[in-house]
Each structure stands twice: as C-alpha cells, then as structure tokens.
Amino acid sequence: MADSAAPTGGYGGFQNEIYFAGLSGVVPEYPMDFAGWEARAAHALPPSVLSYVAGGAGDEGTQRANVAAFARWGLIPRMFVGATRRDLSVRMFGLTLPSPLFMAPVGVIGLCCQDGRGDLATARAAAATGVPMVASTLTVDPMEDVAAEFGDTPGFFQLYTPTDRELAESLVRRAEAAGYKGIVVTLDTWVTGWRPRDLSVSNFPQLRGHCLANYFSDPVFRRLLGKDPQDDPGAAILTWASLFGNPLTWDDLPWLRSMTTLPLIVKGICHPDDARRVIDDGVDGVYCSNHGGRQANGGLPALDMLPGIVAAAGSVPVLFDSGVRSGADVIKALALGATAVGIGRPYAYGLAIGGTAGVTHVLRAILAETDLIMAVDGYPTLADLTPEALWAVR
C-alpha cells in the first residue's frame, strides 16, 4: 500500500495537501464532491456508458430512495474527546484493512476509463490507496491481469454464477490461483432488471461483446463453445448469454460453499431471515445491498434494511453498499453496524474523468471526509460509531 493512502494527520491530511498546494497556485485537478464527479463524468463518458452507470431500474425511485435514506440520520457531536488521532482500520476475513471503505463491483467499470482498460486502472487505485476492489466477473481484462495490479492491497472476486457448474467452479479456481481473498456471490442479477435508460437506446454492453474477458479466457467456456471466441465472436456472445444467470435456490448454497475455502460473501441480502439462514449454512460474510437501485424498482432503501441484517448476523461481518455518495454516508452506515462500506458510482465517475488518478482522488476525498467528521464530532475509533451516535432527523 502506498504511503499516500494515510498521510500525516490521518486521511484528513489530504485537505492539508490541497490547501498548501494552493499557496503555490495549484488547485485540485478534479472536483471535490459527488455532484462535481457526476457532472464531469457526464461530459467524459459516451452516452450509452453513462446511462448504464448512472441509470437504475424503473423510474429510479429506489435509486433515489437509497440516497435520501442517509439524510434521515445525523451524527451527534461529542465534545471534550480530543480525537487527534483516528483509527479507521477494520479486521474481517482474517485481514486487517486500513479503512472500512471498499470499491463495489461494477460490471462495466472497464468501459468507464478513457483508454477502455478501467479494471486495471481501478486495481491500480486500490494499490495506491489500500482500498480493496471487488472485481466483477464482467471485466475487459482477465481477472488474473486485474489481480496483478493490486500490489499489497487485498482484492475480492465477484461471481455472477453461470448455469454451468463446471464453469462456475473454473472461475472460482482461477480467482483462488490469482490471489483474490474472497468470493462475493451476487444473488439478485440472474436476470436483468427493467432499466428504461438502457432500453431506450437498446444497449446491453455484454451482448455487444464487452466485458466478457473472464469467460472468453476460461478453459471450460472455450470447451463449451468448441472454438476460439475470436474465431466466432457472435457464437461466443450467444454462448455467454445462454450460460449467464443462474436463479440460485437454497439447495444451491451447499454447493457454493463447497467450491472454495476462501471467505464466501453473499451479496443482495436485505431480509434478516435470509441473513440468518446463509450464516447457518456456512457463509462467512453478508453483503446488504439492493444493487444501488439498478435491479428492482419499488424496493426499500438498503440503508433501512441494514440494522436488521446486522442484528441477525451477530459476529459475522456485514458489508454494505447502495446510495453511498460521501464520507458522511460512510459514517452513518458504519454507525448502523456495517463492517465495511462500498461505493460504486463515485469511483466509476472518478475513473471516467481521470483514470487511476481520478479514482484515487475520489477515494482519498471520501476517506478524508470520513476521518475529519470523526475528528470534529469526537469519534476516534470505528467502535465509537454505534447506533446510539445517530439521531433520527425529523
């Protein structure tokens, strides 16, 4: 992990770098908040990619609700604490991470970079900041090449479970061999949700052959196809489409657990009963998420579901994403019990406007705000952020 990840003064020291650079007439190259990243990315991304990243399901009501849910909570300031040093480190799955922030899987992150190699650029940002990347199954570059860019920062592999079990097992074995530290199985995307933005331009990137490197490089997939994907891209895409999307049931969970000795995290859990059952069946981590509102409209904000999931999970780590836009949001999710908090669109927009440097800037900005809120409001450690530290805003 690069030394710049946590500069002198903690992550909040990032603002000192900016202010002192300003004395020499240097201002930040990139915006400092989500609204700025989003606006810049709107000019940097092709319309089809922008709609895919920015859009959600239906009229995007759930997506908006995810964001609005954070405004219903406020952190109660505590004085005379003297929080001159903050400890943001977190331990989960046998790893000690410098902060609770991680980059959630984004299936078209490879297309968000100006050079079209966004998976590699994001992995390099993970190496520079110590913020783990959960690499999607849907990448422009094979998972092995992505993992090679992580440096000392651990990475996780997100699995869209194919209908062919041998192919699923091959993908997991490759992730193990490449050095990933956990497998994140996404449960809510065996079929694509109703996404009007994408439908209006008839754009589904994978059907155009994008972000399928992990399949096209897989020996089991190539055997099922019966030829080199480069020799017949159309047939390769159709084969992928026929294999993608396994509507998993509880009967499949023992098989998922048996595939790997790595930590197994299941993504999309929003009901306490589901959390209790997956833990009873040997899952190592619960990932509370509604896919950022991209899969099903009319649902509840993921943040509202988080406390119930945390209570059901007991000592099992709970990862969270959906609607996180700032350090203040990170703080609130942690106070509601999340072990680690993921961002999606913020780093995708950073990637669009600046590649690795843009992602690094976004991560450092979010970490700096998180750190400085803890300093100002008197919460020196993550253990101090409890539900009692929050007040419901009326």
**What tokens does 133 get?**
């990347």
Judging by beta carbons within 10 Å of its beta carbon (0-12, 13-18, 19+), is residue 228 exposed, middle or buried?
Answer: exposed
Determine the straight-line distance between the first and last CA of the chain, rounded to whole angstroms: 42
CA distance 71 to 394: 10
Catalytic residue among 43, 210, 271, 291: 291
Known catalytic membership, residue 361:
no
Amino acid identity, residue 86? R
Contact 265, 183 (CB under 8 A): yes
For 282-298, b where at least 16 C-beta lie within 10 A, e where not — what string? ebbbbbbbbbbbbbebe
Question: Which residues does the annotation mark as catalytic?
Answer: 291
